[in-house]
Structure 1
Amino acid sequence: MASILDSVNQRTQMVGQNRLELLMFHLNGKQRFGINVFKVREVLPCPKLTAMPNRNPLVRGIAHIRGQAISIIDLSMATGGRALTDIQNRFVIIAEYNRTIQGFLVEGVDRIININWEDVMPPPKGTGRDAYLTAVTKVEDELIEIIDVERILADIMPANMDVSEEVANAPINVAKEDLTILITDDSSVARNQIKRALQSLGITLEVKKNGKEALDYLKDKAKEVGGLVHPHVPVLVSDVEMPVMDGYTLTAELKADPDLRDIHVILHTSLSGVFNQAMVKKVGADDFIAKFHPDELATAVQKWLNTEVIA
């Protein structure tokens, strides 16, 4: 089953083309779900699990895989469904999110699809299922649900969202009242985490849910100010995975626009594999930070704000 994943080098060719690959899988029932292949290390039959005392009920146990103890999360339970049964005949998706390795227990794994982010939409509201979805797409007239893994992990392992006093009090040598920091992320959990961390800087925050919304906002700002935007919006903190337009494509669009190219782009993403620096260089981003460490994020924003003064 691990052979379902091809080489990283082939996948990096999609960077800046607004495309993604989804590994599709089943939980309980016929509904198919998706997870970005970039986050998947391997897929394997469920190994023997060791129960741990006082564990979160969504964690079915600990597996020892390649010398590492990995928590195995029942993805069906985590999304409000019933627990998976007969787990010795199920599969585990080993994935890397937010600097940690997790295993997601699923009923079965289907195949990998290659699609355009323009065909990925925010989840429909009012369905009762949108709480744990970050996006949906259609494949062969079937709705594929893309799970908001960051929300699930926040429920199991809540992240610290507070910036340390030392970082919060670090000097920023700009007139804060004249600036806006733009935040772009499709996960409501991630948006709240970023806002909580950056509010300590005392600068106005503008929040968008995908790259298209962010690009439209910046182009409108260019018309409003009649030219260069970076004196007004000097920093963009952007997720990579977003419906409609991803963070790589957003960055490439900014760097190709004379009015927007000087905005400092920080890609802030749960993708934390070894290939990310090559991606950042390819699209021209200024910085890359793996989620989620509030001090690192706030420090990076401070650095680029102060660069404006030096420049």
Structure 2
Amino acid sequence: MSNSNILVESGTNELEIAEFQIIKELPDGGTKVNSYGINVAKVREVIRYPEMTDYPKGNKHIVGVFKSRDKVTPLIHLAKWLGLSEKQPSSNQFVIVTDFNGVTNGFLIDSISRIHRVSWSDLEAASEISLAGEDNCIVASVNLDDRLVFILDFELIIAEMNSDINMSQYNLSTDNNVDLSPEKKRRRAQHTILIADDSKFILEQLSNVVSESGYLIETATDGEQALKSYESNKQNISVIVSDVEMPKVDGLYLCKTITSQPNHPPVLIFSSTMTKENKLKAFEVGATETLTKPEIHRLIPLLDELLFPNG
């Protein structure tokens, strides 16, 4: 399976989810099949278990590395990372190869069933699940053919594996491209930035950097919440920074709705799937600029450029 022919029109609030299965090992020796989902926009291909090479001193959840279209790719034991199974990989398993945040990764799964086209409004945000905690790895849930399917936070997973794309490694105070003088912070404090992202992990990182620079912030964990927040306080929102993949209302639909109004603020799309094609989609719905996670170092200079064009 490849995502090359699976396109969703800009701003329709729809997405395609690839449903896959991971088998949980039970204490009595039995098994249970769990269904999970991933946005097809993140998927490069799905392949049979490939020929593997051991990777010395790799993360305990990394099986090894393999070649995906001539690119050396780490394979993550997803069941082990989720705490569902410790079983050794076998040739009858499959691998979802992902391409986002500028890196390629493989995720070991047991089987893959089908692709579902759904509306973002069908997804329930993880924050609505009472068990959701600090280390929650689920961003949303959806009922597909009467099955509860969890959408995993793949950005959190790969950030734990690869410090180069973990935005928490970014230190604003040592960035020479950002003016952190008291005067600049005072000027920034006249502006409120609305940040929308369904990943608690990403939202926290963005919020910390934006507030540390001096800007005021409002946050939303899905597009519907972001839209309500904007509508109730639009006179005070200077810029909107939004993810694309969000329950209820996705970032492109959010952007399209806001930019269709007069005197709207700039909208920055900050996404892990910012391919050339997706950049075009973002501009089609009125985005001012796009950033690819984990380019968090570009965010404050871009906000300053938009809000203080004369320096």
Query: TM-score when scaled to structure 1?
Result: 0.88
Match of 2:308 in 1: 306
Match of 1:226 in 2: none
Moved more, 294-303 or 121-130: 121-130
The letter for the 2-side match of 1:234 is: S
The yes-or-no answer on 1:185 pairing with 2:197 is: yes
CA contact (8 A) 2:186 2:214 kept: no
The letter for the 2-side match of 1:199 is: S
Q: Distance in 2 between matches of 1:247 and 1:182?
A: 12
The letter for the 2-side match of 1:42 is: E
Q: Which of 254, 257, 276 in structure 2 is aligned with 1:250?
A: 254
Q: Distance in 2 between matches of 1:297 and 1:107?
A: 39
The letter for the 1-side match of 2:68 is: I
Q: Distance in 1 between matches of 2:171 and 2:92?
A: 42
Q: Distance in 1 between matches of 2:176 and 2:54?
A: 40
2:57 is paired with a residue whose SS is: coil
2:281 is paired with a residue whose SS is: helix
The yes-or-no answer on 1:162 pairing with 2:162 is: no
1:294: Cα distance to partner? 2.3
2:36 is paired with a residue whose SS is: strand
Match of 1:44 in 2: 47
Q: CA RMSD in A?
A: 2.2
CA contact (8 A) 1:161 1:294 kept: yes
The letter for the 2-side match of 1:7 is: N
The letter for the 1-side match of 2:264 is: D
CA contact (8 A) 1:251 1:283 kept: yes
Q: Which of 48, 65, 69 in structure 2 is aligned with 1:66?
A: 69
| Equivalenced residues, count | 294
1:122: Cα distance to partner? 1.4
CA contact (8 A) 1:186 1:243 kept: yes
The yes-or-no answer on 1:196 pairing with 2:208 is: yes
1:156: Cα distance to partner? 1.6
Q: Which of 274, 277, 281 in structure 1 is aligned with 2:276?
A: 274
- Give the fraction of aligned pairs with identical amino acids, expressed as a percent: 27
Relative distance call for 1:267 and 1:128 in structure 2 (3 A) is: closer
1:102 is paired with a residue whose SS is: strand
Match of 2:11 in 1: 16
Match of 1:215 in 2: 227
The letter for the 2-side match of 1:240 is: V
Q: Which of 285, 288, 291 in structure 2 is aligned with 1:286?
A: 288
Consecutive unaligned residues in structure 2, runs of 5 or more? 24-31
Q: Distance in 1 between matches of 2:50 and 2:134?
A: 29
The letter for the 1-side match of 2:237 is: V
Matched ranges for 1:28-39 at <5 A: 28=23, 29-39=32-42
1:174-227: CA deviation from partner (whole Å, max 9, x where unpaired): 8323211111001011012212322332111111111111111111114xxxxx
Q: Distance in 1 between matches of 2:33 and 2:142?
A: 16
Match of 1:100 in 2: 103
Relative distance call for 1:85 and 1:234 in structure 2 (3 A) is: same
Relative distance call for 1:173 and 1:162 in structure 2 (3 A) is: closer
Q: Distance in 1 between matches of 2:255 and 2:87?
A: 40
1:112-143: CA deviation from partner (whole Å, max 9, x where unpaired): 00001101001312278981100000012210
Match of 2:27 in 1: none
1:75-123: CA deviation from partner (whole Å, max 9, x where unpaired): 1112221135442211111111211111111111111000011010013
Consecutive unaligned residues in structure 1, runs of 5 or more? 223-228
